[in-house]
């Protein structure tokens, strides 16, 4: 599965701790992240992560493009609901794309834990079925 890992500044330490706790599961999958978050996770865990730009510089939109092309299976986005974000429209667009394309999305540690454990238990097999179908836009 392809998993995107994103975290706002005040949530980056939570994402690093989450990645450490679930490293045995995450290392079985293809990981993507926005710039700084991805670097912090790689430094702490040694996980291989494809890094995009940081969120404010377009990283959220780069991940959104993968979602729109059915090239992302899960998004874990630790948001800071108490801080204004200068790129809020990009964040809302990313969340909207997850809803439009039925991409499982966790925006906090509790939901992320349930999602990652469900992944490990094989509860997201429907994504594999979707990924095996030819693209209808061809």
Residue 108 pLDDT exceeds 90? yes
Residues annotated catalytic, as ranges: 60
Q: 87 pLDDT band (50/70/90 cuts)?
A: confident
| Sheet of strand 2-7: strand arrangement | 49-51, 30-33, 2-7, 74-78, 105-106
Cβ 7 vs Cβ 91: under 8 Å: no
Predicted local distance difference test score (pLDDT) of residue 133? 61
CA pair distance 94, 106, nearest whole angstrom? 12
Q: pLDDT tens for residues 121-137? A: 988 877 776 666 655 55
Domains of the chain in sequence order:
2-132 (3.40.50.1380)
Q: pTM for the full model?
A: 0.90
């Amino acid at each position: 599965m392809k998993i995107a890992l994103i975290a706002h500044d005040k949530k980056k330490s939570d994402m690093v701790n989450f990645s450490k706790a679930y490293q045995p599961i995450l290392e079985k999958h293809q990981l993507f992240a926005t710039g700084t978050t991805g670097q912090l996770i790689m430094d702490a865990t040694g996980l291989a992560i494809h890094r995009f730009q940081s969120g404010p510089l377009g990283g959220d939109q780069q991940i959104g493009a993968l979602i729109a092309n059915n090239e992302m299976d899960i998004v874990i986005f630790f948001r800071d609901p108490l801080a204004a974000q200068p790129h809020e429209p990009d964040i809302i667009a990313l969340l909207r794309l997850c809803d439009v394309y039925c991409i499982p999305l966790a925006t906090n540690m509790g939901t992320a834990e349930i999602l990652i454990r469900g992944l490990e238990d094989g509860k997201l097999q429907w994504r594999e079925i979707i990924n095996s179908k030819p693209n209808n836009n061809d």
